[in-house]
Structure formats: structure tokens, C-alpha cells
Amino acid sequence: MSARDEQRETRQAFAAHGRRGRAGLRLDEPGPLLAGAPIGLTFSIELEGAERLYLAIAGDRARQRPAGFVFVATLEGVAAPLIDPAHGLPDLGGPLGLVEVGADAPWRQPLLLNQFVALEDSRRPIAPGERRLLHLLCRRSLALGPSEAIALDSAEPVAVELSLSFALERDDAALAALADRLARTVDEGPIEQREAALLRLLGMRAAAREPLRALTRHRQFSVAERARLALDALESVS
């Protein structure tokens, strides 16, 4: 396996309401990736022409993540895809909003793949020191319209499918060190970095069990409670 086997960014053309556009997906993590580590992505929408379109976006209240995305992640040599860590939770809806997208105003949405895929399970089939490709398929329906009302009640959403492939390496010591660094950032890092570090640590789940257990004693109640809830969820599936 070489870097040529990886595809860390992709785009797909689409048409909506007489406009041409491109949906994109990009891997935001540099260099080799650790199996079980947080993986950031950016989903983007770009349009051609002078006129703008409205795009409806939503949150998923039960799963605590952006709504509308479906990810299928399959590890090289393993038939079954990695599970959705929130599978089985009911759809309770969530906040709904609108953004304007145009040639001068592309829309970009950061995503944490761990919120959609149990990446901690990728360690099991990989031997220590080994690398394997993860094949990732992202499906998204785009509710676009020339007006807010049409976007919110889109009868013909635009379906896009985007694929990435990138290598995961198993290094349990490096993964544990990463979890500890994230926990230290949550505890004593710059204030503007703490929430992002906490989200990434929570996304590691079983790969960060001990740092999460330590955070249940955090001086800030909201941090301690989120760590406790994450551990409770781990216990319920173990």
C-alpha cells in the first residue's frame, strides 16, 4: 500500500434549480492516521453563477451530531462495515436552519467522523504496527431552493455520494498518548481549544476510557457530566 492508494479529497458535480454545483469531502488530518483516533472532515458545497440558493441544514438532537449524513466505513480485508455508534437511537429531529450558498459564498461544514463511525473498532483487525486502508462512503441529500420556503420543503433533494480512502495504522501507545494530550487540553489548555479537544476525546469512546474516567472528576460540571454520559454509553454496550 502506498500514498497512491489513498484519496483524501473528492468532489461530485450536481445540478439544482438550473444551477451547477459541486459537493466535496476532504480529510483534514495530516500525515498517517492512528486507528481509533479522531478524524476530522470537511463537507463543502460550491455553486456556479451569480444567483444564490438556500440550503437547509439540520442537527440530530438524539445523536448529538449534524443530520442528513450517512457514512459507510469499511476496513480493507473486513467484510462488514464499522458500526454507527448511535445506531438504534430514535429520530427526535433537531434544530433546522438555512444558509445561502453562491459562487462567492461556498458552504463548508466541519465534521468529526467518529460521531458517525465507531472508529475505535478499527483497531481489532489491525495488527500492531500494521496499516490498512479504510474505504469511506458519504451519502448526503441536499435540500436546495431559490427561496427559503422551497429549500425547507424540498420535494426533490439532490443526492450526492462521495468516497475517500486513507490508511489507518495501529499504534496503541501513540493512541493513548494522544488521548492524554486531548484530556490535558480540556483541563488546562487555551480556552478556545478546550471544546474541540473535548469533542475529539468523546469521539474516541473506548479508545480513551481512562482519560474520560478522569474527566468525570473535572471541576466544571458540564465537562464532568459529558464524560460520565460517554462512559455510561460505553458500559451499556460492553
Domains of the chain as residue ranges with CATH: 3-169 (2.60.40), 172-237 (no CATH)
pLDDT at residue 72 tops 60? yes
Q: What per-residue confidence (pLDDT) applies to 237?
A: 65
Q: What per-residue confidence (pLDDT) applies to 235?
A: 82
Q: Which residues 6+ apart lie within 8 Å of 54 measured at CB?
A: 98, 99, 100, 101, 144, 145, 146, 147, 148, 150, 151
Q: What per-residue confidence (pLDDT) applies to 89?
A: 84
Q: What per-residue confidence (pLDDT) applies to 9?
A: 98
Q: Averaged over 81-110, what is the pLDDT?
A: 92
Q: What per-residue confidence (pLDDT) applies to 156?
A: 84
pTM of the model: 0.93
User: Bridge-partner residues for 11, per DSSP?
Assistant: 24
Contact 179, 204 (CB under 8 A): yes
- Alpha-carbon Rg of the chain, whole angstroms? 19
**Residue 201: all three cell numbers together:** 476525546
Split at pLDDT 50, 70, 90, the class of 3 is low
pLDDT at residue 68 tops 90? yes
Query: What is the chain's length?
Result: 238
Q: What per-residue confidence (pLDDT) applies to 108?
A: 97
Q: What per-residue confidence (pLDDT) applies to 157?
A: 92
Check residues 78 and 155 and name the one with the higher pLDDT: 78
Split at pLDDT 50, 70, 90, the class of 236 is confident
Quick one: which of 182, 220, 224 has its CA closest to 199? 182
Split at pLDDT 50, 70, 90, the class of 170 is very high
Q: What per-residue confidence (pLDDT) applies to 2?
A: 53
The sign of the torsion formed by the CA atoms of 42, 62, 120, 219 equals: positive
